[in-house]
Amino acid sequence: MSDRLNLGVIIGSTREGRWAPAPAGWIAGVAERHGGFDVDLIDLLDADLPQHLVEDDMWSTEADPSAPVAALSERLHRADAFIVVSGEYNMSIPASLKHAIDYYMNEWAAKPVAMVTYGGKITGGQNAAQHLRQIFPELRTMTIRNSIAFPRFYQHFDDRGEFTEFGATEPAAKTLLDELHWWALALANARKATPLPSPF
């Protein structure tokens, strides 16, 4: 198979005034320049998933899901790897991100995911990343070792309102993408060779 793989970059916050689109756009751009990925930037705000999970939308039923759920499912299925961009809210991930994760099962399975986080504290959203590392294995998703964090991100804007730390972080982003691509290729080949056994 081709070494060029599909990468879904997920904007995990839907709050008004959110900063998430900025780091998501940055890492998506670095991934496009990396050369190993075709990038799909997925904004959960645009996905507009229903607030209440009804039976037709549940991954465990045979019913036809609603249009927003089916549309996001197609994009997640197409991805060979993911980068989740998340702020840290009250020591964890945004509710919108957990809500989106919980809608799906097979779409996440046997694929790698990397985290890019940010926060107002010195940890840079790493509490959110740790919670994702607990959540994704339940979906049989491989969380890679490397991650990127932007601590106290609000302190790093110039007079023009531009974030000043993206350039210095590009070497770390390349390392993350190299690792993500290795796992994505290995798991894509594994999925092609042998279907993942049912966990049930």
- Is the per-residue pLDDT at 197 higher than 60? yes
Residues 58, 77: Cα–Cα separation, whole Å? 16
Mean pLDDT of 27-37: 97
CATH value at residue 53: 3.40.50.360
Instruction: Judge whether 146 lies within some domain.
Output: yes
Alpha helices in the chain (DSSP H): 21-34, 44-47, 67-78, 95-102, 126-135, 166-193
Tell me, yes or no, whether 158 lies in a domain.
Answer: yes
Is the pLDDT score of 3 beyond 90?
no
Instruction: Name the residue among 12, 20, 29, 10 with its Cα closest to residue 177.
Output: 29
Average pLDDT of the residues in 8-20? 96
Which pLDDT does position 2 carry in this prediction? 59
Residue 75 lies in a domain: yes
In the prediction, which pLDDT does 187 show?
Answer: 98
**In contact, 7 and 38? CB cutoff 8 Å:** yes
Q: Residue 108: inside a domain, yes or no?
A: yes
The two structure tokens encoding residue 23: 């780091």
* Polymer length in residues for the chain: 200
H or E segment to which residue 84 belongs: strand 81-87
CB 42 within 8 A of CB 100: no
Report, as an integer, the average pLDDT of 88-105.
95
| 198: in domain | no
Would 199 be classed as within a structural domain? no
**195 and 8 in contact (C-beta within 8 Å)?**
no
Show the domain range for 72.
5-193
Residue 30 near residue 114 (C-beta atoms within 8 A): no
CA distances 148 to 35, 60, 180, Å, are: 20, 33, 13
How many domains, in total, are found in the chain?
A: 1
Query: Is residue 51 pLDDT above 60, yes or no?
Result: yes
Confidence of residue 1 (pLDDT cuts 50, 70, 90): very low
